[in-house]
Amino acid sequence: MATTIWIDGQYYDKANAKVSVFDHGLLYGDGVFEGMRVYNRRIFRFDKHLDRLYDSAKGAWIEIPLARKAMARMTEEAVAKSGFTDGYIRLIVTRGIGDLGLDPRKCPKASVICDKGLTAVSAATPIHHRESVSPRIKSLNYLAHILAKVEGIAAGVDEVIMLDPAGFVAEASGENIFVVKDGVVKTPPAYSGILLGVTREAVLELAREATYGVEETPLSRYDLYTADEVFLTGTAAEVIGMTKLDARTIGAGVPGPVTKELAKRFKALATRGD
């Protein structure tokens, strides 16, 4: 079993998987990506991730030089080749190799990279800010999220909450956010400046199935401070409780019953492979 890396039609081992210094992914963060999980040899909601990858590329005016079917086949093949039963896959599409200079027309062909490694887990907690690149594009421009994360590190907490430009809660550095108040599960709506998480969508479905009330509604930090429960969702984190924000203890200070129930249901769904 080994990390398997596919770049533009060829497999490489870790030491030899390299991109050009002229690749606009490196020069300008000019590209898009997906992070996906494999459970029991199956990629969780692979179709949804492919939808988002092709939509992100379209939003960023990048033409992916691989038809969706070929991308799917290559990814499945890379997973089989790796031999991992459970793991993490990254699909990266950069604008490709071009000149120095921001003009994207100078990159004749996009590069496609598929990298499969281990999973990471982020925990919970606070801070802020938002960017001008559409948050709906899962782009290689994570600097705003990284700077927010650094604030969290400086504050000695596990995660950061980022606000949208209007001051409403958007998401965490790499997860979507939910609150539970009086049995109702609430999360910021799509238009509030968030990445539309594949895990977020699955959890909304699970919450409806579990007959909780569900609302996609703008949330302020006040709503977080006064929630019964707050939890984050993401491919790496799955469903994880947040128990403290800006020195306020949330709810009972431990992951609550709704968080636990949805985490359990998510695990069952992911390992079942729907």
Binding of ligand PXG at residue 200 (CB under 6 A)? yes
| Positive/negative CA dihedral, 99, 104, 109, 111 | positive
State the distance between the two ends of the chain, measured CA to CA, in whole angstroms: 25
- What does the per-residue mask of binding to ligand PXG show for 35-74, with x meaning CB under 6 A? x---------------------------------------
DSSP H helices, the chain, are 24-28, 46-59, 68-82, 143-155, 198-209, 221-225, 257-272
Binding of ligand PXG at residue 235 (CB under 6 A)? yes
- What does the per-residue mask of binding to ligand PXG show for 90-129, with x meaning CB under 6 A? ------------------------------x---------
Q: Which of 157, 156, 154, 191 is nearest to 172 (CA)?
A: 157
Q: What is the DSSP letter of 191?
A: G
Which region, left, alpha or beta, applies to residue 70 given φ > 0 means left and ψ of -120 to 50 means alpha?
A: alpha
Distance of CA 128 to the CA centre of its chain: 17
Of 30 and 171, nearer to ligand PXG (C-beta) is 171
Binding of ligand PXG at residue 197 (CB under 6 A)? yes
From the list 79-87, 105-113, 173-181, 208-216, the region that binds ligand PXG by CB under 6 A is 173-181
The one among 180, 198, 214, 245 contacting ligand PXG by CB under 6 A:
198
Contact 84, 1 (CB under 8 A): yes
Q: How many residues bind ligand PXG (CB under 6 A)?
A: 16
The one among 236, 244, 260, 261 contacting ligand PXG by CB under 6 A:
236
Residues in touch with ligand PXG (CB under 6 A): 35, 120, 145, 171, 174-176, 195, 197-200, 233-236
